[in-house]
Amino acid sequence: MSSDHRVLRINNISHSNAGYYECEVFNAFGLSNKKTFQVIVYHPPVISLQIIPHFSKLICSATGKPRPKLTLKRNDTQLLNITEVSEKNFITNTTQWSLVYSMDKSLEQELGLYSCSAVNEHGVQTSFKKLVAKLPPKPKIIRKTDFKSIYKHDASLFIIQTTSNETNELNLSPIVEYKLLVQQINLSTNDTFLNVSEASEQKVRLQRFDRFSFYYSKSGIKISNLVNVKSNQQYKIKVAVSNTIGTSEYSEWYSYLSTHVCGQNIENIFDGLFLMSHENRQQLKHHERDYSCNSLLSTRSNVICVHLLQNECKLKTLTLYDGKNETAPILKRSCNHFVSEICSTTENIYLKYDARREAFGFLANIVAKTLR
């Protein structure tokens, strides 16, 4: 708007500038006149082609001004059994038009190369998706260290797929089962694994609405929802994924420290684990009066970081020492964030918890980080 309010200049015009504008003028006698005019923003189509496998739907969508003409094809043959829908976005001041195709034929008949095209007088855009049925890719087990959610123990271990960047190829063969091999181990002082038990196989059958999450979930699949492990143990875990075509390769072995209870000394922390104050902490039960415990947390060529929720970071009953025992300096804690991180300067943290009253205690996420 100019300084005299006579000129409205719109730079870098976008959808949000479209709409009705009103200009009103006054004279020295107090009389006024006003006029309404419309700004229309014309632009070429912007499209998306997405699949909702849980509901067997394929959706071809586009925005554009004027309204674009949409075409949805499979293997260059136009699909006719489709539903047209539209949706107004009042925030961006745009309308999205969609063609919805219901995949109600057999899996083999629905496979192929799909194209979604949108055209208006300002341009044309086309997007492709190839629907296939093949073995699941080899999975991978990872431990996430962002710890935005710390409420549930062992919630940080996930299965993800290791695939190429072929984002336009989608697997329609639903996942039916996860197969996990779980073996209890001990880690010796020279970093070799000693088998404590034979590897046992655990199979988890999936419900209908979980059968595509492995392919399309950005976060991955939680191991804690699939595998049964005991507290205070070390394991090796690997997983294979089965769909209606067959079973993938097994992942590489993942060395895993299960949730430990305070009072255990934990040596050779190679990745991370959860440490809880008392055995019933995961059921949100109080510990008894006059309860205390100590744990020495150790790693090699790393520092140790303890992640605590804000209310547990403020516990005066919890002390962290930057070393092997209580003679080491106490680690200072800043508890201003939802999740606080307290890191050692050495390869050890000595944790001491001492409470006179019944309480929920603490749940800590322990992370080994490389020395810089």
Q: Tell me: the pLDDT tens digits for 74-90?
A: 999 999 889 999 988 87
Question: In this structure, what CATH number is given to the domain that contains residue 31?
Answer: 2.60.40.10
Q: Which of these three, 217, 241, 257, is where a domain ends?
A: 257
Same domain, 128 and 245: no
- How buried is residue 219: exposed, middle or buried, by Cβ count under 10 Å (0-12/13-18/19+)? exposed
Listing DSSP states for 207-267 in one string gives: -GGGTTHHHH-SS-EEGGGT----TT-EEEEEEEEEESS-BPPPPPPEEEE--EETT--B-
283 or 78: which carries more pLDDT confidence? 78
Structure tokens at 67: 């309204």
Same domain, 37 and 72: yes
- For residues 14 and 365, what is the distance between their CA atoms, to the nearest angstrom? 46
pLDDT of residue 20: 86
Question: In this structure, what CATH number is given to the domain that contains residue 239?
Answer: 2.60.40
Confidence of residue 192 (pLDDT cuts 50, 70, 90): low
Same domain, 236 and 265: no
pTM score, whole prediction? 0.75
Same domain, 112 and 91: yes
Same domain, 77 and 170: no
Q: Which of these three, 226, 257, 288, is where a domain ends?
A: 257
Q: Which residues is 162 bridged to in the sheet?
A: none
User: Which residue range is the domain that position 276 belongs to?
Assistant: 260-370
Same domain, 40 and 76: yes
pLDDT of residue 165: 47
Same domain, 20 and 121: yes
Same domain, 196 and 308: no
pLDDT of residue 124: 96
pLDDT tens, 45-68?
A: 999 999 888 788 999 999 999 999
Same domain, 267 and 251: no
The answer to whether 159 touches 220, Cβ cutoff 8 Å, is: yes
Question: In this structure, what CATH number is given to the domain that contains residue 363?
Answer: 2.60.120.290
Same domain, 252 and 265: no
As for how many domains the chain has, the answer is 3
Q: Which of these three, 94, 117, 132, is where a domain ends?
A: 132
Q: Which of 59-68, 98-107, 247-256, 328-337 bottoms out in mean pLDDT, i.e. has the lowest?
A: 98-107
Same domain, 146 and 198: yes
pLDDT of residue 153: 46
Same domain, 94 and 195: no
Listing DSSP states for 94-141 in one string gives: EEEEEEEEE--S-HHHH-EEEEEEEEETTEEEEEEEEEE--PPPPEEE
pLDDT tens, 119-175?
A: 999 999 999 999 999 999 999 988 876 655 444 445 567 888 766 545 688 888 999
Listing DSSP states for 20-70 in one string gives: EEEEEEE-TTS-EEEEEEEE---EEEEEEEEEEGGGTEEEEEEEEESPPEE
Percent of the chain with pLDDT over 70: 90
pLDDT tens, 98-124?
A: 999 998 888 888 999 999 999 999 999
